[in-house]
Amino acid sequence: MPLLGEFSALITALLWSVGSYAFTHAAENIGSVQLNMNRLILAAVLLFLTIVIFNFNYHISYNQVLNLSISGIIGLVIGDSFLFKAYRQIGARLTILIMSFAPVLSALMAFFFLSERISFIGISGMVITVMGIMLVVSEPNKSPGTKYKITPLGFFNGFMAAAGQAGGLIFAKLAFDRGEINGFVATFVRIFTAVVVFIPLLIIMRRFKSPIKTYAHNNKALITTFIGTVCGPFLGITFSLIAIEYTKVGIAATLIATMPVIMLPISRFYFKDSLSWRSITGAFIAVIGIAILFLR
């Protein structure tokens, strides 16, 4: 299917946008660390059931398993750990601003490690899209007394989160270059590896709590965690892997990074938030960049 990778990347951005709202509500109830672990465990279960029920081909080589496992550790364990730290230290808006550089890092890594080259028109589309995203997320926070501002440590954590996302995509791409892999199977390997690594770390730090006890008397947190998991680790990551399989890593990362733009209409029509001309202009610029990437 033509442009399958590009469409999959945009679907990823849409799913992650919806999932981010659900995870925000869940984190308020159970905390970010517990939520991060719970979503990975639930996603692993959902993926395993999907693979068994639909009888997807799960026979992949050792090299593919190794690359997908490294991808899961870099992206989901290391990268997401830095991401949650950045959220706490400098807030979501500033973190997303720093994460806007993830497509650039992805393109650079793909150039050096995968020998991927993007045409001048493709690079132009990426630059225009990233400019639009940055314009949207860099709008000053007008709330008086906001506690979030850029700090050296917060910037470092945000940058490492972007690098973790980019590095995770590179190793996943290496796995797909070795042969055909079902997207759900690839996602399961990444997430299962992350769970195997993550649980012992939380146990050592005495931060692990039983998911059953966590949700026993908190149905709202359970529902929002489930919605966020379906949109995020379950379907979102699967579509992101399909995206990098069928298009350049840098282009896929750029389209996935349009989350802040996609979240604007959700904020306007569902949450009834007002949109500034700066946000609307940034969204318009990003759409132009996306169109260039599709028509390149």
Poorest-confidence range of 18-22, 224-228, 231-235? 18-22
Most confident of 23-37, 197-211, 218-232: 218-232
Task: Report pTM.
Answer: 0.88
Q: What is the pLDDT of residue 183?
A: 94
Q: In the numeric block, which tokens belong to residue 136?
A: 């949207």
Q: 41-50, 57-66, 145-154, 236-245 — which is least confidently predicted?
A: 145-154
Residue 141: predicted pLDDT: 61
Q: What is the mean pLDDT of residues 221-250?
A: 94
- Looking from the CA of 18 toward its CB, the CA atoms found within 13 Å total 15
* Mean pLDDT value across residues 224-242: 94
List the Cα angle 124/16/231 in 5-degree steps. 145
Residue range 178-202: average pLDDT? 93
pLDDT digits (tens, 9 = 90+) for 258-295: 888 888 887 777 767 777 888 889 888 998 998 888 87
* pLDDT level of residue 87 (50, 70, 90 thresholds): confident
Query: Of all residues in the chain, what percent carry a pLDDT higher than 90?
Result: 47
Residue 146, pLDDT score: 57
**Inter-CA distances, 168 with 2, 68, 80, 162, 223, Å:** 25, 8, 11, 10, 28
How far lies 13's CA from each of 119, 169, 227, 262, 290, in Å? Answer: 23, 15, 15, 7, 12
Q: What is the mean pLDDT of residues 241-248?
A: 93
Per-residue pLDDT of 150-176, as tens digits, reads 788 988 998 999 999 999 999 999 999
Distances (CA, A) of 56 to 47, 53, 62, 182, 235: 11, 8, 18, 7, 15
- What the block records as the tokens of 184 is 């759900």
CA angle in degrees (0–180, nearest 5) for 91-96-97: 105
Under 8 Å between Cβ of 240 and 12: yes
Answer for the pair 25, 200: CB distance below 8 angstroms, yes or no. Answer: no
Domain ranges for the chain, please list them.
Answer: 4-295
Q: Is the pLDDT of residue 194 over 90?
A: yes
- What per-residue confidence (pLDDT) applies to 277? 86
Structure tokens at 189: 């390997």
Residue 246 has pLDDT above 90, yes or no: yes
Which of 147 and 154 is assigned the larger pLDDT? 154
Tell me, what's the pLDDT at 6?
93
